A and B are shown apart, each in its own frame.
Chain A
Amino acid sequence: MKRKLRDLPPALLMLVPSLGLLTVWVIYPLIKAIDYGHKKCDISSRNCRDVGWDRYFSVFQSTQFQDSLIVSLKFTLMTVPIGLVLGIGLAVLADKHLKGIGIFRTIFSSTVATSVAVASLVWFVLLQPSRGILADMLSDWFPVLKNPGLLNDSGTALPAVALSSIWASLGFTFIIIMAGLQSVPRDLYESAFVDGAGSFRRFTNVTLPMLTPSILFVSVVLTTRALQSYGEIDLLTQGGPQATKATTNIPYLIYGNNSVIHNDIGTKSAAAVLLFLLCLAFAALQFRGFGKRVHYGN
């Protein structure tokens, strides 16, 4: 007890910078957003009146929120599993002692150097319908690339954004899984080999279980990114095609330029808090789902 009190002054001094910053820029705005969620304000968001906490329910049940929730979930289901499988595939492919393998590893991790803005704009250039390179090369087989363009078609817009996002995350996924693979002790493989396990059996019985911590980490990060993706939507489709709002996910419903709640800080805050709860629920689910199967020993 005495020790605790003696350490208190230096501890406070050392914690103040971080604690202060987090309070002002994370905790305070969160509380404030929760509060705004039950208010209606004027165009400058200055004069507000109370409209009741059940506002959260009506926002949640509104058509627009439900639609964007479905877009968010679809986007997550497209990007996370495919991103994971591709990342694992690349890592397994590159986890061999071959001459020049380092070059391939650098190439596979290269997209980690692209930001959301750069990656999205790269695909924006590639997918441009009348002059883009993909339309130019492939539109004979895939006419949608040109008319109306992958990003302009209600059916293909979300998968196209997902493609850009998967590509952008590939480098990150590859690096993590690669590191996970390299920490698998070689003798485990050898004993499996002695037991006569084929390469597929070795992968499912030895590699995958040893990779679970990495896979859990990657899937949590990818899911968070997918649920919070704003930049790629803003740069590629602006939530469109507008006929179906096929890419208006929750962040875009909140922050998009052409959103019906654009100037309504109350509804925006309510939707943002709901997004926060959704992220929490997903994180909890993933930790529970993987939790039992994560293999930490080595």
Chain B
Amino acid sequence: MRTTRTHRFAALAAVGLIAAACSGGDDITDSGDKPATSSTTPGDTLAPTTTVALDLLPDCPTDALETATGTVEIEFWHGMGSVLADELQKLADAYNDSQSKVHVTLSGESYEITIDNYLQASQDSRPDLVQMPEYMVQSMVDTESTVPVGKCIDSSGFDTSEFLPTALTAYSTQGVQWAMPFNVSNPVLYYSKKAFIAAGLDPNDPPESLEELRAYSQQLVDSGAAQYGIALDSGFDSGGGWYVEQWFAQAQEYYADGDNGRTNRATQVLYNNQTGVDLLTYVQTMINDGLAISVGDNASGTDDLLKIADESAPAAMAIHTSAALGGALELLKSGVFKQLGADDLGIGRMPGPDGNPGALIGGASLWPVNSGDPVKVAATWDFISYLVSAENQSEWAATTGYVPVRTDALTVEPYKTILDTDSRFSVAYDQLKASPDALTSAGPVVGPLRQIRAVLATAVAKIFGGDDVKTALDEAATQANNLIADYNTSNGG
């Protein structure tokens, strides 16, 4: 008897599944109660309506370290892997050896896992310091779990005059400096000098505007120097999401309302405007004309770069994070690719609309956690100020390819020598330095930016594949705006 019932249930369930699968559905982020969408006109610049009361934020008693008895143990969760993790460990070891007041222990995972673990953990089991990528700013603010770095800077009298203004602005909203920039990267153009020479192009004069990029690609393809001009990807941390934000910054346009979410909490994305449509139409045409090749989602993170070294159907250029430069050169030096040596790799600034220089801050920043223990907070700040000293930023930039967050790091060894001997390392720094200190150049701060990038990446992938640009962007924008509304309702927007 019982088995018959199970049978019937199972059959019913199967029928139900199939029937339901045929009916059209809403967006998954719609499920649940729907908050009213804001009526803010896109692009309006408003006075901040949600000013943050600085007094209500946790304090940073930087002098508390003096009252400590014995060594203060602090825990640091970071998102660095491989050589980057090794280098960070080296810096931390040197710090631990240099003094006896503070001892720091490192735990490394990917950014994604670090984020998940941090969000899931209760405040008691969170570390004293956490490294978070640039897309996490609003989410981290909303966890109300950290001590704003600005308060530490004030109370310790830390001198930030040598810092790149854009690096600091990237991690501040509504007048509060939330986090300390640490590892800064931005996308640059990687290209094969060999292919440029074969095509009759100047190997030391890479394209800077999108028009030039197209002309160069045309010449590379026509001359047979390369199968494609440029390899593009639609990954959400690269071509599908981050680069689009870069292009908006270069065009000096807002990506989200509320002045990129930095004056007011953002309520919608703006990337489906004319600028966005023009940009992605350009990209689509490049692919359709055989001048660019899509490597897809770039799940391995290196598919686009490897395309430059491809033997049978190479692309001459790729846009990729500057953070990969050190590794790329090392790989080429090892001789893995017989047709491309380390000296054959050229680096140019990221080509963009009208050839405007400029780039957003990528990479990650340091967030001191409000553990409730003034001594630990003070010790954490001590370690942060160590990591961003000119000497350590120089050391860090020299071994990793990240951009130093401060100008005086360029005059200190070992980075100084590297810049003197290999100008490729300065490209990312130069384009960052050339960025206007405006909110358009500071990048969007939106709660669910990670998911919004993923949504846009889907649209970009569709556009690569030939879908209508405007339709794809509109769909993505609608979904992104749903995500923002949903996020803001749940997080006190």
Contacts and interface: CB of A to CB of B under 8 A. Distances in A.
Direct contact between A and B judged by beta carbons closer than 8 A = yes
B297 A65 contact: no
A62 B26 contact: yes
A273 to B, nearest CB: 13
Contacts of B21: 66, 69-70
Contact of A65 (B25, B142, B455, B462): B25
A119 to B, nearest CB: 17
B9 A284 contact: yes
A146 B313 contact: yes
B32 A267 contact: yes
B139 interface: yes
B297 A58 contact: no
Interface stretch (A102-110, A218-226, A232-240): A232-240
Interface string B95-116: 0000000000000000010000
A49 B492 CA distance: 12
Interface string B146-167: 0000000000000000000000
Given A43-B143, A285-B10, A243 B461 contact: yes
Contact of A43 (B28, B461, B490): B490
B7 interface: yes
Contacts of A264: 29, 486
A291 interface: yes
Contact of B299 (A42, A63, A151): A151
Interface string A40-60: 111111000101100100111
Contacts of A262: 450-451
B139 A263 contact: yes
Nearest to A238: B299
Given A40-B33, A41-B490, A146 B312 contact: yes
A212 interface: no
Nearest to B126: A44
Interface stretch (A16-24, A84-92, A125-133): A125-133
B458 A59 contact: no
Contacts of B384: none
Contacts of A149: 295-296, 303
Nearest to B337: A131
Interface in B247-263: none
A58 B465 CA distance: 30
Nearest to B111: A257
A152 B461 CA distance: 11
A107 to B, nearest CB: 30
B464 A243 contact: yes
Given A66-B21, A260-B28, A267-B31, A42 B490 contact: yes
B17 A281 contact: yes
Contact of A62 (B27, B300, B490): B27
B240 A242 contact: yes
Given A267-B28, A288-B6, A60 B20 contact: yes
A63 B143 CA distance: 30
Interface in B13-48: 13-14, 17, 20-21, 23-33
Interface string A246-276: 0000000100011111111011001100000
A240 B299 CA distance: 8
Interface in B361-397: none
A277 interface: yes
B120 interface: yes
Nearest to B26: A62
B3 interface: yes
Given A243-B461, A260-B479, A284 B28 contact: no
A261 B28 contact: yes
A281 B303 contact: no
B220 interface: no
Contacts of A154: 465
A278 B17 CA distance: 9
Contacts of B31: 55, 58-59, 62, 267, 270
B454 A259 contact: yes
Nearest to B464: A243
A155 B299 CA distance: 17
Contacts, number: 179
A58 B32 contact: yes
A148 interface: yes
B20 A281 contact: no
A274 B21 CA distance: 14
Interface in B390-446: none
Interface string A90-126: 0000000000000000000000000000000000100
A52 B299 CA distance: 37
A207 interface: no
A130 B309 contact: yes
A263 B451 contact: yes
Interface string B134-149: 0000010011010000
A169 B442 CA distance: 49
From B25, B306, B491, residue with most partner A Cβ within 10 Å: B25
A278 B145 CA distance: 38
A63 to B, nearest CB: 4
B151 to A, nearest CB: 22
A228 interface: no
Contacts of A139: 312
B458 A243 contact: yes
B448 interface: yes
A40 B3 CA distance: 37
A40 to B, nearest CB: 5
A267 B490 CA distance: 13
A69 B17 contact: yes
A238 B487 CA distance: 24
A238 B110 CA distance: 15
A65 to B, nearest CB: 6
Nearest to B112: A257
Contacts of B483: 260
A266 B28 CA distance: 12
Interface in A192-218: none
Contacts of A40: 32-33, 486, 489-490
17 contacts: A40-B32, A41-B490, A43-B143, A59-B31, A62-B26, A65-B25, A128-B300, A147-B313, A237-B297, A237-B299, A241-B461, A243-B234, A243-B462, A263-B448, A263-B451, A278-B13, A281-B13
Q: What are the 10 closest A-B residue pairs judged by CB atoms, nearest first?
A: A152-B296, A243-B461, A58-B31, A284-B10, A62-B28, A258-B454, A281-B13, A240-B297, A64-B28, A51-B32
Given A40-B33, A66-B20, 16 more contacts: A43-B143, A44-B145, A58-B26, A58-B30, A129-B303, A151-B299, A154-B465, A240-B297, A241-B296, A260-B29, A260-B455, A263-B448, A266-B32, A285-B10, A285-B14, A288-B3
Interface of A: 40-45, 49, 51-52, 55, 58-66, 69-70, 124, 128-131, 139, 146-149, 151-154, 236-238, 240-243, 245, 253, 257-264, 266-267, 270-271, 277-278, 280-282, 284-285, 287-288, 291
